[in-house]
Structure 1
């Protein structure tokens, strides 16, 4: 295993005149190829998205009693979906997808992780998909990697890891590579020679740096979109580019959902980026959008009651957002647990009614034909798959 002092690398990278974000140790997007025409995109929303704000259950009268200052329901600008749920106004660009049956959600979902409410542990459990066993056994890898191990003919695709978020969801024994927008290195010829010299005896970094320079010079997919949602648009567009080629699975993350204080602007920015990424996927995929399922997942939900800082704290039950032409959208999946007395988890959180892994497993079942026993034993060890939510068209 390669060990590298990150501070030493960042210092040397600065001396080379290149961005540390172009280094292959850093990761924001991963891809894999499968012998299938169907596509799966997993977006990890790091920081615990408040599902009660993103998809507002304004039809439950207790919501207004527990959240008096947070904006709620159509009277506050949210977009009514079905008379009970409303879409946060910053997700308004996705309303046409709902109307076309290409957007859906499930409330009251969670991983088996409970009570400690650590972002790091929660994200580990979400990406490992193995249950509530902490610390997570790294030898098992992530659940998307175990999916690859279960599919005959799955292959790796040449790509590189770039960015600031490590995607553990695709770590494991099955071959896979990674890539992200803005992976280009813009170096002078002298700097390129120095970089090649520094990493001459390390094939991983040497080849990654060489190809990043090459791709940055020649690939139109590396163009960066500007503005507050530019990074998210670039991630979505780049993922679509690879999914239109050999890749069939893409995973990337959108951070910035931790809304302990001043939740309105925090979640607003996150929802803007999520909507931009989903629309970039749709636009970039073209006809392949009809064979695509997008799952936007977060490590846990947030407290039902707002706190004294205009925000919400770490909770339990959360929301899963689904998109794509392959889903049966325009509906809410699962039951609503209620927000009344005796209905909350630990008298503070939305009660989780279904394991979020079950939705991912049923998506894999429908998209790639994975047998239920393999899903419950190998891909998501210990999962009770339960009934088919029939989320795919």
Structure 2
């Protein structure tokens, strides 16, 4: 007899990447009341905030870092006569001018005078004030969900391959990674339906997994053979590690937010620039700008 266990164990041979697939994760759908959405983007590492939003009107800034050339069309972008925006964020200037973008300067967690970005980041995501009693692994965003009436697994999404400590905790959270995909032949999908038909919970979870896998724009049912299925999955994996991966995550988040999802969180890496940072910081900020605009446009 061909059992569910046998189907799952053999699915990798017909193009289902189980290690990254939503097929093995029961997915439920629920909406929270209201139409507000919240997206939290974690910038992992140690961003130099003074270079992102530059207080060039402060004489100490000019003395220590040099006066930015706000008159240079390729230089920092003046915001209000005191602050200037890093030139890599120039595409976001219309959002600032329309009152849709703001910056909060000179704030910090209580984690000061230490050397670990990892501890500081964990404290930020946990939403606690110090590490003296150890780190609570419940994230503050998960604790918020526990107080939202009607919150379910589809209410919040942790998106990407990185562990999202901010969403750790007992409240249910769905996850998606841009390199997760399903690719099955129509015959394999029919076989799966037959195998699962006597288990309503698994049958429902499988149908929702197919819908989720299909929602990134790649079809789940592939008429080609195993080589085409595996090629599609490998293409997804390469795309998730290449240029534009964050924008793809943003577009997926927007699609879920247009449906039942109300909260989404993902991260962008590459902020440990340390020294000689002009080029790497500019690249990281350009990716951040692209991500924000992709999210805005897709919503």
Distance 2:60 2:178 in 1: 43
Residue 141 (structure 2) aligned to one of 141, 144, 147: 144
Q: Is the 8 A contact 1:184 1:212 kept in 2?
A: no
Q: Taking structure 2 as the reference length, what is the TM-score of the superposition?
A: 0.71
Distance 1:116 1:107 in 2: 20
Find the counterpart in structure 2 of residue 384 from structure 1.
none
Distance 1:236 1:87 in 2: 22
SS of match in other structure, 1:238: helix
Find the counterpart in structure 2 of residue 246 from structure 1.
260
SS of match in other structure, 1:74: coil
Find the counterpart in structure 1 of residue 33 from structure 2.
35
- Return the offset for 1:151: 1.9
Normalized per residue, which structure has more strand? 1
Unaligned runs of 5+ in 2: 1-11, 23-28, 190-203, 220-235
- Return the offset for 1:112: 1.6
What is the aligned length? 255
SS of match in other structure, 1:62: helix
SS of match in other structure, 2:181: coil
Deviations 1:164-219 (A, max 9, x none): 31001111111222223342144789999xxxxxxxxxxxxxx9999766644x33
Find the counterpart in structure 1 of residue 55 from structure 2.
57
Residues 49, 111 of structure 1: CA spacing in aligned structure 2 closer, same or farther, 3 A cutoff? same
Residues 20, 91 of structure 1: CA spacing in aligned structure 2 closer, same or farther, 3 A cutoff? farther
Find the counterpart in structure 2 of residue 234 from structure 1.
248
Unaligned runs of 5+ in 1: 1-13, 25-30, 193-206, 286-393
Pairing 1:157–2:154 present: yes
- Return the offset for 1:111: 1.2
Q: Is the 8 A contact 1:180 1:238 kept in 2?
A: no
Q: Taking structure 1 as the reference length, what is the TM-score of the superposition?
A: 0.56
Find the counterpart in structure 2 of residue 260 from structure 1.
274
Residues 52, 222 of structure 1: CA spacing in aligned structure 2 closer, same or farther, 3 A cutoff? farther
Deviations 1:283-314 (A, max 9, x none): 111xxxxxxxxxxxxxxxxxxxxxxxxxxxxx
Find the counterpart in structure 2 of residue 116 from structure 1.
114
Q: Is the 8 A contact 2:159 2:266 kept in 1?
A: no
Distance 1:278 1:178 in 2: 20
Find the counterpart in structure 2 of residue 72 from structure 1.
68
Residues 73, 17 of structure 1: CA spacing in aligned structure 2 closer, same or farther, 3 A cutoff? farther
Normalized per residue, which structure has more helix? 2
- Return the offset for 1:263: 0.5
SS of match in other structure, 1:250: strand
Q: Is the 8 A contact 2:38 2:264 kept in 1?
A: yes
SS of match in other structure, 1:101: coil
Find the counterpart in structure 2 of residue 88 from structure 1.
86
Say what the alpha-carbon RMSD is for the aligned residues. 3.8
Q: Is the 8 A contact 2:178 2:240 kept in 1?
A: no
- Return the offset for 1:260: 1.1
Q: Is the 8 A contact 1:183 1:212 kept in 2?
A: no
- Return the offset for 1:42: 0.5
Find the counterpart in structure 2 of residue 184 from structure 1.
181
Residues 242, 160 of structure 1: CA spacing in aligned structure 2 closer, same or farther, 3 A cutoff? closer
Find the counterpart in structure 2 of residue 282 from structure 1.
296
Q: Is the 8 A contact 1:181 1:221 kept in 2?
A: no
Q: Is the 8 A contact 1:23 1:209 kept in 2?
A: no
